Amino acid sequence: TSANIDLDRSSRCGYPEVIFCEGKTSASLVEIFSTLLESNQRCLGTRISEEQAETVLKQFPQAIYNQTARTVRIPEKDAAFDEKLIAGEIAVLTAGTSDRPVAEEAIETLTWMGYEPDFILDVGVAGPHRLQEQLPRIQNVSAIVVAAGMEGALPSVVGGWVSCPVIAVPTSVGYGASLGGIAALLGMLNSCAANVTVVNINAGFKAGFIAGLIADQKHSTS
Amino acid sequence: TSANIDLDRSSRCGYPEVIFCEGKTSASLVEIFSTLLESNQRCLGTRISEEQAETVLKQFPQAIYNQTARTVRIPEKDAAFDEKLIAGEIAVLTAGTSDRPVAEEAIETLTWMGYEPDFILDVGVAGPHRLQEQLPRIQNVSAIVVAAGMEGALPSVVGGWVSCPVIAVPTSVGYGASLGGIAALLGMLNSCAANVTVVNINAGFKAGFIAGLIADQKHSTS
Amino acid sequence: TSANIDLDRSSRCGYPEVIFCEGKTSASLVEIFSTLLESNQRCLGTRISEEQAETVLKQFPQAIYNQTARTVRIPEKDAAFDEKLIAGEIAVLTAGTSDRPVAEEAIETLTWMGYEPDFILDVGVAGPHRLQEQLPRIQNVSAIVVAAGMEGALPSVVGGWVSCPVIAVPTSVGYGASLGGIAALLGMLNSCAANVTVVNINAGFKAGFIAGLIADQKHSTS
Amino acid sequence: TSANIDLDRSSRCGYPEVIFCEGKTSASLVEIFSTLLESNQRCLGTRISEEQAETVLKQFPQAIYNQTARTVRIPEKDAAFDEKLIAGEIAVLTAGTSDRPVAEEAIETLTWMGYEPDFILDVGVAGPHRLQEQLPRIQNVSAIVVAAGMEGALPSVVGGWVSCPVIAVPTSVGYGASLGGIAALLGMLNSCAANVTVVNINAGFKAGFIAGLIADQKHSTS
Amino acid sequence: TSANIDLDRSSRCGYPEVIFCEGKTSASLVEIFSTLLESNQRCLGTRISEEQAETVLKQFPQAIYNQTARTVRIPEKDAAFDEKLIAGEIAVLTAGTSDRPVAEEAIETLTWMGYEPDFILDVGVAGPHRLQEQLPRIQNVSAIVVAAGMEGALPSVVGGWVSCPVIAVPTSVGYGASLGGIAALLGMLNSCAANVTVVNINAGFKAGFIAGLIADQKHSTS
Amino acid sequence: TSANIDLDRSSRCGYPEVIFCEGKTSASLVEIFSTLLESNQRCLGTRISEEQAETVLKQFPQAIYNQTARTVRIPEKDAAFDEKLIAGEIAVLTAGTSDRPVAEEAIETLTWMGYEPDFILDVGVAGPHRLQEQLPRIQNVSAIVVAAGMEGALPSVVGGWVSCPVIAVPTSVGYGASLGGIAALLGMLNSCAANVTVVNINAGFKAGFIAGLIADQKHSTS
Amino acid sequence: TSANIDLDRSSRCGYPEVIFCEGKTSASLVEIFSTLLESNQRCLGTRISEEQAETVLKQFPQAIYNQTARTVRIPEKDAAFDEKLIAGEIAVLTAGTSDRPVAEEAIETLTWMGYEPDFILDVGVAGPHRLQEQLPRIQNVSAIVVAAGMEGALPSVVGGWVSCPVIAVPTSVGYGASLGGIAALLGMLNSCAANVTVVNINAGFKAGFIAGLIADQKHSTS
Amino acid sequence: TSANIDLDRSSRCGYPEVIFCEGKTSASLVEIFSTLLESNQRCLGTRISEEQAETVLKQFPQAIYNQTARTVRIPEKDAAFDEKLIAGEIAVLTAGTSDRPVAEEAIETLTWMGYEPDFILDVGVAGPHRLQEQLPRIQNVSAIVVAAGMEGALPSVVGGWVSCPVIAVPTSVGYGASLGGIAALLGMLNSCAANVTVVNINAGFKAGFIAGLIADQKHSTS
Ligand SMILES: Nc1ncnc2c1ncn2[C@@H]1O[C@H](COP(=O)(O)O)[C@@H](O)[C@H]1O
Ligand SMILES: Nc1ncnc2c1ncn2[C@@H]1O[C@H](COP(=O)(O)O)[C@@H](O)[C@H]1O
Ligand SMILES: Nc1ncnc2c1ncn2[C@@H]1O[C@H](COP(=O)(O)O)[C@@H](O)[C@H]1O
Ligand SMILES: Nc1ncnc2c1ncn2[C@@H]1O[C@H](COP(=O)(O)O)[C@@H](O)[C@H]1O
Ligand SMILES: [Mg+2]
Ligand SMILES: [Mg+2]
Ligand SMILES: [Mg+2]
Ligand SMILES: [Mg+2]
Ligand SMILES: [Mg+2]
Ligand SMILES: [Mg+2]
Ligand SMILES: [Mg+2]
Ligand SMILES: [Mg+2]
* pLDDT one-digit tens code per residue, F30-44: 999 999 999 999 999
Backbone angles phi, psi at B58, to 5 degrees: -65, -45
Between these two residues, F81 and H45, which has the higher pLDDT value?
H45
The answer to whether F6 touches F14, Cβ cutoff 8 Å, is no
- Measured distance CA(C97)–CA(C122) in Å, rounded: 5
Q: pLDDT averaged over chain A?
A: 95
Q: Looking at the complex, does the CB of residue F175 fall below 8 Å from at least one CB of chain B?
A: no
Q: Which chains neighbour H (Cβ–Cβ under 8 Å, 3 or more pairs)?
A: C, D, F, G
Would strands B166-170 and B143-148 be described as parallel, antiparallel, or unpaired?
parallel
Q: What number is the average pLDDT over the span A114-143?
A: 96
> Which strands form F64-66's sheet, in the order they lie side by side?
F19-20, F43-46, F71-74, F64-66
Look at residue E16 and give its three-state secondary structure: coil
Task: Please compute Rg for chain D using Cα positions.
Answer: 18
Look at residue A12 in the predicted model and tell me its pLDDT.
96
Q: pLDDT averaged over chain G?
A: 95
Q: pLDDT averaged over chain B?
A: 95
Q: What number is the average pLDDT over the span A26-49?
A: 96
Best residue of A93, A97, A132, A150 to probe chain D, by most D CBs closer than 10 Å: A97
Chains G, F in contact: 3+ Cβ pairs under 8 A? yes
| First CA to last CA distance, chain F | 38
CB–CB contact F151 G192 (8 Å): yes
- Measured distance CA(B175)–CA(F101) in Å, rounded: 15
Q: Which pLDDT tens digit goes with each residue over F61-92?
A: 999 999 999 999 999 988 888 778 999 999 99
ipTM of the complex: 0.96
Look at residue B1 in the predicted model and tell me its pLDDT.
65
- Is the model's pLDDT at E222 over the cut of 60? no
- Measured distance CA(G174)–CA(D75) in Å, rounded: 51
- Measured distance CA(E77)–CA(C104) in Å, rounded: 80
- Measured distance CA(H18)–CA(H9) in Å, rounded: 10
- Measured distance CA(A47)–CA(A54) in Å, rounded: 14
CB–CB contact G201 D176 (8 Å): yes
For residue A130, list chain D residues with Cβ-Cβ distance below 8 A.
4, 6
CB–CB contact A175 D201 (8 Å): yes
Q: List C-alpha distances in Å: G162 to B43, D208, E6, G157.
A: 69, 53, 24, 10
Question: What chain G residue is nearest to E182 in terms of C-alpha separation?
Answer: G177
The answer to whether H33 touches H74, Cβ cutoff 8 Å, is yes
Look up residue G213 and give its DSSP letter.
H
- Measured distance CA(C180)–CA(C149) in Å, rounded: 9
Look at residue A221 in the predicted model and tell me its pLDDT.
60
Look at residue F221 in the predicted model and tell me its pLDDT.
61
Nearest-5° angle of CA E32, CA E33, CA E39?
95
Which ligand ends up closest to the CA of A19?
Answer: 9
Look at residue C1 in the predicted model and tell me its pLDDT.
65
Which ligand ends up closest to the CA of G97?
Answer: 11
CA dihedral A28, A33, A35, A41 (to 10 degrees): 160
Look at residue D42 in the predicted model and tell me its pLDDT.
96
Where does residue E197 rank: exposed (0-12), middle (13-18), buried (19+ CB within 10 A)?
A: buried
**Paired residues of E72 in beta bridges:** E45, E65
**Paired residues of H148 in beta bridges:** H170
Q: Looking at the complex, does the CB of residue C6 fall below 8 Å from at least one CB of chain H?
A: yes
Q: Which pLDDT tens digit goes with each residue over D84-110?
A: 899 999 999 999 999 999 999 999 999
For residue F98, list chain H residues with Cβ-Cβ distance below 8 A.
20, 22-24
Q: Where are the alpha helices (DSSP H) in chain D?
A: 9-13, 26-38, 50-59, 100-113, 129-138, 154-159, 182-189, 204-219
Look at residue E221 in the predicted model and tell me its pLDDT.
61
The answer to whether A162 touches A142, Cβ cutoff 8 Å, is no
Q: pLDDT averaged over chain E?
A: 95
Q: What number is the average pLDDT over the span F112-134?
A: 96
Look at residue G1 in the predicted model and tell me its pLDDT.
63
The answer to whether A31 touches A24, Cβ cutoff 8 Å, is no
Report residue A188's pLDDT band, with 50, 70 and 90 as the boundaries: very high
Q: Which pLDDT tens digit goes with each residue over E163-203?
A: 999 999 999 999 999 999 999 999 999 999 999 999 999 99
Best residue of C99, C130, C151 to probe chain A, by most A CBs closer than 10 Å: C151
For residue E170, list chain G residues with Cβ-Cβ distance below 8 A.
176
Q: What number is the average pLDDT over the span A8-22?
A: 96
Q: What number is the average pLDDT over the span D204-222?
A: 90
- Is the model's pLDDT at A80 over the cut of 90? no
Look at residue E198 and give its three-state secondary structure: strand
- Measured distance CA(H165)–CA(G206) in Å, rounded: 11
Closest Cα in chain G, distance from residue D93 (Å): 12
Pick from A195, A194, A198: nearest CA to A184: A198
- Is the model's pLDDT at E218 over the cut of 90? no
Look at residue E1 in the predicted model and tell me its pLDDT.
64
Report residue B77's pLDDT band, with 50, 70 and 90 as the boundaries: confident
Q: Where are the alpha helices (DSSP H) in C167-203?
A: 182-189
Q: pLDDT averaged over chain D?
A: 95
Look at residue F61 in the predicted model and tell me its pLDDT.
96
**Paired residues of D20 in beta bridges:** D46
- F112: Cβ below 6 Å to ligand 2? no
- A97: Cβ below 6 Å to ligand 1? yes
- Measured distance CA(B86)–CA(B8) in Å, rounded: 25
Closest Cα in chain H, distance from residue G95 (Å): 20
Look at residue E220 in the predicted model and tell me its pLDDT.
76
Count of pairs with CB atoms under 8 A, one residue in A, one in C? 117
The answer to whether B139 touches B166, Cβ cutoff 8 Å, is no
Helices and strands in chain D, H and E counts = 8, 9
CB–CB contact G98 E20 (8 Å): yes
- Measured distance CA(B179)–CA(G187) in Å, rounded: 19
CB–CB contact H189 D179 (8 Å): no
Q: What number is the average pLDDT over the span H14-29?
A: 95
Between these two residues, E39 and B221, which has the higher pLDDT value?
E39
> Which amino acid makes up residue B18?
V
Q: Which pLDDT tens digit goes with each residue over E109-122?
A: 999 999 999 999 99
What tens-digit pLDDT sequence spans chain C (222 residues)? Answer: 678 999 999 999 999 999 999 989 999 999 999 999 999 999 999 999 999 999 999 999 999 999 999 999 999 988 888 778 999 999 999 999 999 999 999 999 999 999 999 999 999 999 999 999 999 999 999 999 999 999 999 999 999 999 999 999 999 999 999 999 999 999 999 999 999 999 999 999 999 999 999 999 988 765
- Measured distance CA(C123)–CA(B6) in Å, rounded: 9
Report residue F1's pLDDT band, with 50, 70 and 90 as the boundaries: low
Best residue of D144, D213, D222 to probe chain C, by most C CBs closer than 10 Å: D213
Where does residue H78 rank: exposed (0-12), middle (13-18), buried (19+ CB within 10 A)?
A: exposed
For G122, other C-beta atoms within 10 Å of its C-beta total 20
- Measured distance CA(A146)–CA(A132) in Å, rounded: 15
Residue ID of nearest Cα to ligand 2 atom 8: F20
Widest CA span in chain A: 55
Question: What chain A residue is nearest to D4 in terms of C-alpha separation?
Answer: A122
- A122: Cβ below 6 Å to ligand 1? yes
Which residues, chain by chain, have CB under 5 Å from ion ligand 10?
A: F 96, 122
Helices and strands in chain G, H and E counts = 8, 9
Q: What number is the average pLDDT over the span B142-159?
A: 97
Among the residue ranges B81-85, B194-198, C48-52, D86-90, the one predicted with the least confidence is B81-85
| First CA to last CA distance, chain D | 38
Q: Which pLDDT tens digit goes with each residue over A144-164?
A: 999 999 999 999 999 999 999
Would strands C166-170 and C143-148 be described as parallel, antiparallel, or unpaired?
parallel
- Measured distance CA(C90)–CA(C84) in Å, rounded: 15
Pick from D183, D139, D180: nearest CA to D158: D139
Widest CA span in chain B: 55
- Measured distance CA(A97)–CA(A109) in Å, rounded: 20
Q: pLDDT averaged over chain F?
A: 95
Report residue G3's pLDDT band, with 50, 70 and 90 as the boundaries: confident
Pick from B46, B24, B17: nearest CA to B205: B46
Look up residue B177 and give its DSSP letter.
G
